[in-house]
A and B are shown apart, each in its own frame.
Chain A
């Protein structure tokens, strides 16, 4: 049964699934873009300006910039997680979309590869809109901030894979609450989105290094602030390892669930 460990085979097949989702997204273009713009706008305006007034600078940058870079990374996490859980579950179970697709030459791997690529694409879209909002508010300090986009895509791949693992076990939407409450929310609070990780107690500072969001934030923040990026290879490796491993595990689990 070695074939179950094959990595995604990206070809037209996965592309067809990706294009299906793009087409649905285009239908709800206006509302989804409004949400994409609206939420970060509120965060940046409310927290960035409001709190920023009291905080002033954090890690040698205006608090608005500090916060904007954290929100960029965490929204990539949320967007991909949401897509890989709620949307994938909807297509897999109530809508039976995958049953229909599995009657074509496509295989489970193609579907999952398409879904993971699409989840990461959504992270990219939401990241791009936040970057625009942040730039408009004067929080972006350098053109090197454009490098944030591929980083957010990778962050999306990573959290899409993790979300798919949850979906493989889900018997209903309520199941995702465990992961949201026990994993995503603590990660959001502890990964240096709102304050630097260095202000955590020492043992916790070490422990949070296993969280992928920490590494996404560490890559995004200096890019937005126009500062030099350190430990690039290490941060990227963590994200890549999470992406590949979570995808491989999810693929095994979902194959087992669908091919019965």
Chain B
């Protein structure tokens, strides 16, 4: 399969502080590829390098087989970007935002008008075409930003935390739109720290921290490779829960605050034991990407 993005030893320093430390990435065409990581992991810096607005300190970065350092214009012409912070033009209406943006790509007026109608219908904003930006909800703004990223019919769409700060309805709608884009053959690259989002959307993903890639694979493969398949979360008296869980050999315990996480291949015995002790509140669930994420990046708070 043809790859859309190729990075080798990609490195970025800011005043001697490393933000990205020599990452290798190969992102195949037509896939939804995720970059997961806590705040400060180097996700946004990596995306900025892809846009050509942050020159790499060292390493090689090619998009569409073109070097980013010399072909930024050509690359960006074939790419759409949904930034983390909305930067819609507040001086304009919904449709005007798309028109102005289309002009930056040099799209002819007639083609642009047709494209705007299509895009507004795609993101369900056709009836808001003449609304000022200030009157839109957070979800509408994000949908418009997605429409704007599609104005040049890009082959690659890059989304930096596309659903951060949105309510569940808006998130689900955006997920649906992203799946449609993926089905239409576009390559999607998204960063997120919502594991659920990554699990639902991504064919493949990398987990980054401290500027390095810690793991790569499909969500299912990552869960299989890095954590036991079942998890029991026990809330309540920490010492007693520990004592109860430490008696079981096939498993691993992690205590965080007032909760014990017990990872195991077979949870039946533990569940049976816990059901006899009404002082414990517990949850038995399959392991997910969040468990992998926390295992790899640790539970320390990030700012």
Where the two chains meet, the residues of A that have a C-beta atom closer than 8 Å to any C-beta of B are 12-13, 16, 19-20, 23-24, 27, 95-97, 99-107, 258-260
Establish whether residues A107 and B73, one from each chain, have CB atoms under 8 Å apart when the complex forms.
Answer: yes
> In the complex, what distance in Å separates the CA atom of A101 from the CA atom of B148?
11
- List residues of B (141-159) whose CB comes within 8 Å of A's CBs: 148-149, 152
Establish whether residues A105 and B103, one from each chain, have CB atoms under 8 Å apart when the complex forms.
Answer: no
Q: Is B5 an interface residue (CB 8 A)?
A: no
Establish whether residues B51 and A105, one from each chain, have CB atoms under 8 Å apart when the complex forms.
Answer: no
Given A104-B76, A107-B73, A260-B14, verify A13-B87 contact (CB < 8 Å). Answer: no
Given A23-B96, A258-B53, A260-B14, verify A101-B104 contact (CB < 8 Å). Answer: yes
Minimum distance in angstroms from B84 CB to a CB of chain A: 10
Establish whether residues B91 and A24, one from each chain, have CB atoms under 8 Å apart when the complex forms.
Answer: yes
Establish whether residues A23 and B100, one from each chain, have CB atoms under 8 Å apart when the complex forms.
Answer: yes
Where the two chains meet, the residues of B that have a C-beta atom closer than 8 Å to any C-beta of A are 14, 51, 53-55, 72-74, 76-77, 79, 81, 83, 85, 87-92, 96, 100-101, 103-106, 148-149, 152
Given A97-B89, A99-B87, A100-B89, verify A105-B104 contact (CB < 8 Å). Answer: yes
A24 — nearest CB in chain B belongs to which residue? B91
Residues of B within 8 A of A95 (CB): 87, 89-90
> In the complex, what distance in Å separates the CA atom of A82 from the CA atom of B24?
46
Q: List 27 A-B contacts (CB under 8 A).
A: A12-B106, A13-B106, A16-B106, A19-B100, A20-B100, A20-B103, A23-B96, A24-B92, A27-B91, A95-B89, A96-B85, A99-B83, A99-B87, A100-B83, A100-B88, A100-B101, A102-B51, A102-B53, A103-B51, A103-B53, A103-B79, A105-B73, A105-B74, A105-B104, A105-B105, A259-B53, A259-B55
> In the complex, what distance in Å separates the CA atom of A97 from the CA atom of B105?
15
Establish whether residues A16 and B91, one from each chain, have CB atoms under 8 Å apart when the complex forms.
Answer: no
B93 — nearest CB in chain A belongs to which residue? A27
Residues of B within 8 A of A20 (CB): 89, 100, 103
Residues of B within 8 A of A97 (CB): 87, 89
Ranked 6 nearest A-B pairs via Cβ? A96-B87, A104-B104, A103-B81, A100-B87, A16-B103, A105-B73
Establish whether residues A104 and B85, one from each chain, have CB atoms under 8 Å apart when the complex forms.
Answer: no
Establish whether residues B103 and A103, one from each chain, have CB atoms under 8 Å apart when the complex forms.
Answer: no
Known A27-B91, A100-B88, A104-B105; 6 more pairs at CB < 8 Å: A19-B103, A103-B79, A104-B77, A105-B76, A107-B73, A259-B53
B89 — nearest CB in chain A belongs to which residue? A97
> In the complex, what distance in Å separates the CA atom of A100 from the CA atom of B85?
10
A260 — nearest CB in chain B belongs to which residue? B54
B55 — nearest CB in chain A belongs to which residue? A259
> In the complex, what distance in Å separates the CA atom of A82 from the CA atom of B17?
37
Residues of A within 8 A of B53 (CB): 102-103, 258-259
Q: Which of B72, B92, B96, B105 contacts A107 (CB 8 A)?
A: B72
> In the complex, what distance in Å separates the CA atom of A96 from the CA atom of B85?
9
Residues of B within 8 A of A12 (CB): 106
> In the complex, what distance in Å separates the CA atom of A104 from the CA atom of B100?
11
Establish whether residues B72 and A106, one from each chain, have CB atoms under 8 Å apart when the complex forms.
Answer: no
> In the complex, what distance in Å separates the CA atom of A259 from the CA atom of B48?
9
Residues of A within 8 A of B55 (CB): 259
Which of A16, A100, A259 gathers the greatest number of chain B CB atoms within 10 Å?
Answer: A100
B75 — nearest CB in chain A belongs to which residue? A105
Residues of B within 8 A of A96 (CB): 85, 87
> In the complex, what distance in Å separates the CA atom of A247 from the CA atom of B91?
26
Residues of A within 8 A of B77 (CB): 104-105
Residues of A within 8 A of B76 (CB): 103-105
Residues of A within 8 A of B90 (CB): 95
> In the complex, what distance in Å separates the CA atom of A13 from the CA atom of B77?
12
Establish whether residues A103 and B72, one from each chain, have CB atoms under 8 Å apart when the complex forms.
Answer: no
